[in-house]
Every structure is written in C-alpha cells, then in structure tokens.
Amino acid sequence: MAGGRGSRMQLPIEKPLLEINGRKLIDYVLDAIAGSRCVDKVFVAASSNGPETVKWLKDCGRDVNVVNTPGEGYVYDMVDAITKAGIKGPVLIVMADLPLITPELLDEVISLYHTVPQPALSVYNLLSVCRIKGLRPDTVFNRDNQLIVPSGINILDADNIQEEQEDYNYILSNHDLAVNVNTVEDLEICSRLMGTQG
C-alpha cells in the first residue's frame, strides 16, 4: 500500500520516497517482499496522491504490478486494489512505510496465518515497546488487557474482501521488526534503529 498522502510528515517528498541510508522506504519494503519464500506476485496500490511514487515504481526495474487507486483512504483503496488486481484467496497487505521488516518476518506471519482458524490475521506491536523506542502511535487498541498498536501488516481473504473479516491478532514482542514511519520523529528513530542493526 503506497497511495497515502503522508500529510503528517509535513515534507515536500512523498512518504514512500523518503530515504534512510540513501534508500527509499518503499525500496526496503519491496526488498523484504521479494525475499519472502511465500509471496509469488507483488501488486503496489498507488494513487494520484503520490504521482512521484507512481513514476518511481514504473522506472525502478522491479517486477511489480502498479494498481491505481482513488486515494480515498486506506481501507477503501485496499479493497479497490485487491478487486482491480483480481486477487483470489489469502492476500498479504504491507504498508510502504515499514523499512525494518524482513523476509523472515513476512514468512513467519504467512506461516502462522495457515495455522489459525480465522480468515484474517493482523500484526500488532505492544504499546509499551513502542514507548521504549520513543514512538508515539496515534492508534491503540486494548486486546485482553494489553495495549497494542497496528503494525501495517495484515493478511485477508481476498474472496471476501467486501466483508468485515474476523482476524487473529499476532502481537510482536520485538518492535525493531516493524516501525511505521508516520512522522519525522519516526523516521529519525527508524534511521537510528537501522544504524544499530548495521
């Protein structure tokens, strides 16, 4: 998913094209997806909100299928993209602002999905770990007396994409695996984390 405005960044650069260590956020995400053993086709949902992202995707030389969405919001554009792409069965949804994800994490999430009875799976992080990292997420849920934060990784049943789907909540214990870059502060924290990993 790479069609948002990234308005919270308040920068002239579209969010997927922001760079850490000289590489674009979306490039890190596409690398992780390409390295997954469980993903066989990649679609990128982009919109008129991000014309430079659309141009970059067309010129990047990667084997991706760009699906143009109306830019009406995350859920609307996700449903629109899946419908236009004609995807059937389970579909992995990944935000373009998660430069710390790895192929191993994606494979772990996909493998887990195949063991749970729910038709959907959502990945979360513990709010407590987010705060330790200095992150201030604006979306928090309470699940079984735990405060959790959506990570931007989901699996849905594309055959029923127009319906609300019961989902399994997979809660990560290591927030280094998935940091959403929604603000300039998040970008700086993510850059710092990537520096400590390198």
> What is the pLDDT of the chain when averaged over all its residues?
86
pLDDT tens-digit readout, 21-66: 888 999 999 999 999 999 989 999 988 888 899 898 988 888 889 9
Q: Which residues pair with 125 in a beta bridge?
A: 149, 172
Q: What is the CA radius of gyration of the chain?
A: 16
- The interaxial angle of helices 25-35 and 51-59, nearest 10 deg, is 50
Which distant-in-sequence residues (6+ apart) come within 8 Å of 108 by Cβ? Answer: none
Q: Give pLDDT, residue 33.
A: 94
Q: Give pLDDT, residue 49.
A: 82
Determine what percent of the chain is predicted with pLDDT higher than 70: 92
Q: Give pLDDT, residue 198.
A: 45
Q: Give pLDDT, residue 10.
A: 66
CATH number of 7-197: 3.90.550.10
| Domain residue extents for the chain | 7-197
Q: Give pLDDT, residue 113.
A: 96
CA distance 76 to 118: 22
- Looking only at the bridges linking them, the beta strands covering 65-69 and 141-143 are unpaired
Q: Give pLDDT, residue 85.
A: 93
Residue 108 vs residue 143, higher pLDDT: 108
Determine what percent of the chain is predicted with pLDDT higher than 90: 41
Q: What ranges make up the beta strands (E) of the chain? A: 19-20, 23-24, 43-47, 65-69, 90-94, 120-126, 141-143, 146-157, 167-172
Residue 137 vs residue 178, higher pLDDT: 137
What is this structure's pTM? 0.88
